[in-house]
């Protein structure tokens, strides 16, 4: 029995559920994949930046070489862009990899990681995969109980994960709350501030974790190029922390964790500030469009600062999800996040959002 032989924490995990593949649903429904609307994985609906495509094309002849394992050029770019010196940066195969690297460097059996209920699924996966304990703190109105997170810390806590905004709820906290929180976390706890969605908010709307690094040597800010920068399929993210933490993380990081196409694409994406601004505009217009549509349907949702919105149907959402799939619309059930009455919907293009609302209204009318 190879389940029984797995380490105890792993036995208790359930597999990470990804969005249903477009091709799979298209085949089931016997329709063209182009007819499917997928709003399930918080992907960027803009399609890739043309500058990114150009950079990838230019890199293709180099494919027989290993990527630059130090990520020199990308770190230089991040350093210029965000005013961080390169030795503070750790590159990851998506920010999932950053979470995993932190867990492998700082967690082990007998130690624990603290995080909130309804937080990102990678936190328990990475924590329990290395035999450490997940300490889950109940949320307040689906948002973080920051006091509760502090109270859950003990001598065996090494990592505290928090995302701003959080996925899948979209909830957030402001600068004052962050400052107060960081000032109360004991020095033996590494705070992973996961800012995977930060670029979707207007600059200044949410605290910028990078501004706190100087004052909090136990802080690590995790970011990704997979959301607002549109590189989900290439898998690239980064962490900023003290040089000492970055040194530790670079000891356990796989040497070639970021591939060569992702490295050049990330540099091009960071340069394409128009793309980022266009994505932000599309997202806020799409959010308004979805909120107006949901209001019209008499539905409730959690206000969100991400590129997604958690819609509450007030009853088991599984049949509604099944109905949407029959209409060719893929969204994300989040029962696994302790939210069985919700579906999480990523913000798409105007047409995709309209298709979703139309399908939803049809499904609700027939339920």
Give me the residues that bind ligand PMP (CB under 6 A), please: 42, 94-96, 120, 163, 167, 194, 196, 224, 226, 232, 237
Compare residues 200 and 212 and give the one whose CB is closer to ligand PMP. Answer: 200
Structure tokens given for 73: 């050029």
Residue spans of alpha helices (H) in the chain: 8-11, 22-29, 50-59, 72-82, 95-106, 122-129, 146-151, 175-184, 243-252, 260-271, 273-296, 318-326, 350-366
Taking the complex as a whole, the smallest distance from the CB of residue 41 to ligand PMP amounts, in Å, to 7
Distance of alpha carbon 110 from alpha carbon 102, whole angstroms: 16
Taking the complex as a whole, the smallest distance from the CB of residue 35 to ligand PMP amounts, in Å, to 25
Structure tokens given for 333: 């059930």
Are 236 and 226 spatial neighbours (Cβ–Cβ below 8 Å)?
yes
Compare residues 95 and 242 and give the one whose CB is closer to ligand PMP. Answer: 95
Taking the complex as a whole, the smallest distance from the CB of residue 316 to ligand PMP amounts, in Å, to 24
Q: Give Cβ neighbours of residue 152 (< 8 Å, ≥ 6 apart).
A: 114, 135, 137
Compare residues 167 and 304 and give the one whose CB is closer to ligand PMP. Answer: 167
Taking the complex as a whole, the smallest distance from the CB of residue 4 to ligand PMP amounts, in Å, to 30
What b/e readout covers 67-76, taking b as 16+ CB neighbours within 10 angstroms?
Answer: bbeebeebbe
Distance of alpha carbon 264 from alpha carbon 266, whole angstroms: 5
Rounded to the nearest 10°, the torsion over CA 357, 361, 362, 367 is 140
Taking the complex as a whole, the smallest distance from the CB of residue 366 to ligand PMP amounts, in Å, to 31
- The angle that helices 260-271 and 72-82 make with each other, rounded to 10 degrees, is 20
Distance of alpha carbon 179 from alpha carbon 308, whole angstroms: 26
Rounded to the nearest 10°, the torsion over CA 261, 267, 268, 269 is 100
Compare residues 120 and 144 and give the one whose CB is closer to ligand PMP. Answer: 120
Distance of alpha carbon 243 from alpha carbon 213, whole angstroms: 11
Compare residues 206 and 357 and give the one whose CB is closer to ligand PMP. Answer: 206
Compare residues 120 and 356 and give the one whose CB is closer to ligand PMP. Answer: 120
Compare residues 17 and 354 and give the one whose CB is closer to ligand PMP. Answer: 17
Compare residues 49 and 167 and give the one whose CB is closer to ligand PMP. Answer: 167
Compare residues 29 and 41 and give the one whose CB is closer to ligand PMP. Answer: 41
Are 159 and 130 spatial neighbours (Cβ–Cβ below 8 Å)?
no
Compare residues 254 and 351 and give the one whose CB is closer to ligand PMP. Answer: 254
Taking the complex as a whole, the smallest distance from the CB of residue 274 to ligand PMP amounts, in Å, to 22
Taking the complex as a whole, the smallest distance from the CB of residue 232 to ligand PMP amounts, in Å, to 6
Taking the complex as a whole, the smallest distance from the CB of residue 3 to ligand PMP amounts, in Å, to 26
Taking the complex as a whole, the smallest distance from the CB of residue 224 to ligand PMP amounts, in Å, to 3
Report which residue's Cβ sits closest to ligand PMP.
94
Task: Determine which helix (DSSP H) or strand (DSSP E) holds 332, and give its type and residue range.
Answer: strand 332-333
Nearest partner of 318 among 301, 302, 336, judged by Cα: 336
Nearest partner of 305 among 204, 187, 158, 190, judged by Cα: 204
Taking the complex as a whole, the smallest distance from the CB of residue 167 to ligand PMP amounts, in Å, to 3
């Amino acid at each position: 029995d190879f389940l029984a032989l797995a380490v105890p924490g792993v036995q208790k995990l359930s597999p990470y559920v990804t969005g249903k593949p477009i091709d799979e649903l298209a085949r089931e429904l016997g329709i063209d994949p182009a007819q499917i609307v997928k709003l399930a994985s918080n992907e960027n609906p803009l399609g890739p930046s043309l500058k990114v495509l150009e950079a990838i094309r230019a890199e293709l002849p180099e494919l027989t070489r290993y990527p630059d394992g130090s990520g020199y050029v990308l770190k230089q770019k991040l350093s210029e862009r965000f005013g961080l010196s390169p030795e503070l940066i750790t590159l990851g195969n998506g920010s999932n990899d950053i979470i995993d690297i932190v867990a492998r460097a700082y967690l082990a059996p007998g130690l624990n990681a603290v995080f909130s209920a309804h937080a990102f699924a990678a936190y328990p996966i990475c924590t329990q995969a290395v035999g450490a304990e997940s300490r889950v703190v109940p949320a307040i109105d689906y948002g973080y109980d920051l006091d509760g997170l502090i109270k859950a810390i003990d001598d065996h806590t090494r990592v505290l994960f928090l995302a701003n905004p959080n996925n899948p709820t979209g909830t957030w906290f402001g600068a004052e709350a962050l400052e107060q929180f960081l000032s109360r976390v004991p020095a033996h706890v590494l705070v992973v501030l996961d800012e995977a969605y930060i670029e979707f908010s207007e600059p200044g709307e949410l605290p910028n974790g990078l501004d706190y690094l100087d004052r909090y040597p136990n802080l690590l800010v995790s970011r990704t190029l997979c959301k607002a920068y549109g590189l989900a399929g290439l898998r690239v993210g980064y962490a900023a922390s003290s040089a000492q933490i970055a040194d530790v993380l670079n000891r356990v990081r796989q040497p070639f964790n970021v591939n060569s196409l992702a490295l050049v694409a990330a540099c091009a994406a960071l340069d394409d500030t128009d793309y980022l601004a266009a994505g932000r505009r599309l997202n806020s217009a799409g959010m308004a469009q979805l909120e107006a549509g949901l209001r019209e349907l008499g539905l409730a949702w959690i206000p969100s600062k991400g590129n997604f919105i958690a819609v509450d149907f007030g009853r088991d959402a599984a049949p509604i999800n099944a109905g949407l799939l029959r209409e060719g619309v893929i969204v994300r059930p989040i029962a696994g996040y302790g939210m069985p009455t919700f579906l999480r919907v990523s913000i798409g293009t105007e047409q995709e959002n309209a298709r979703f609302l139309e399908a939803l209204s049809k499904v609700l009318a027939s339920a």
